[in-house]
Amino acid sequence: MEDAQKIKPYIAHLNAQIKKLEGELTKLTSQPLDEQLLLLKDDKEKLNLSNKYAYVLASLLFSYMKVLGVKDITPVMSELERVKKYMNEAKALDQKDVKADKLKAEEQERAKKIIRNALDGRQTGPAISRVNFEGKHTRFEDDDKSSEDDNVLADNNKRALAEQATHRKKLNTSKGKISKKRKDTK
């Protein structure tokens, strides 16, 4: 009898939870899913209802199969995982929207503050920063090494131009001639 007394609170709690579940299930099953989705106008609400509906069905099927003692419940588990993945994606989408709304509100608040300060004549900082008035000094040095490098580059450019000119001359003079190539025989 002691064991029965220990189990009674658990049974009472289970009965209370089942009554809560019955109330929620009657809300879900009072109308067909299609009609419930048609009544909703927001896509997010439709998504949440579809996800909840799928999760409730998969969870109830899982519980029922566990009570019956079915060993292989992998199809139900994979369905539960799929539904959980969809619910997490919906939650991430909601969080993304919340962050975007928060960022937009912050930007609007900053813009209002800047406009208000500009119209009142109160500015939080100078119109032109000090950085614009700081001098920028660039030092140019005449090194012998740099002038030597310049001379070498100029000489290389002259040679390249001369080679191109001679190549063009060769092409122009050989246009009208037919050249025969000899084959070396070994």
CB atoms within 10 A of CB 58: 20
Q: What is the pLDDT of residues 20-48, one digit of tens each?
A: 988 888 887 888 888 888 888 888 899 99
Please say whether the beta carbons of 72 and 58 come within 8 A.
Answer: no
| SS3 track for the chain | CHHHHHHHHHHHHHHHHHHHHHHHHHHHHCCCHHHHHHHCCCHHHHHHHHHHHHHHHHHHHHHHHHHHCCCCCHHHHHHHHHHHHHHHHHHHHHHHHHHHHHHHHHHHHHHHHHHHHHHHCCCCCCCCCHHHHCCCCCCCCCCHHHHHHHHHHHHHHHHHHHHHHHHHHHHHHCCCCCCCCCCCCC
What distance in Å separates the CA atoms of residue 76 and residue 57, rounded to the nearest whole number?
Answer: 10
Q: What is the pLDDT of residues 140-158, one digit of tens each?
A: 766 555 667 777 888 888 8
> Per the structure block, which two tokens stand in for 167?
């190549």
Q: What is the pLDDT of residues 45-99, one digit of tens each?
A: 999 989 988 998 899 899 899 989 998 889 999 999 999 999 999 999 889 989 9
Query: Using CB atoms within 10 A of its CB, is residue 75 exposed (0-12), middle (13-18) or buried (19+)?
Result: exposed
User: pTM of this prediction?
Assistant: 0.48
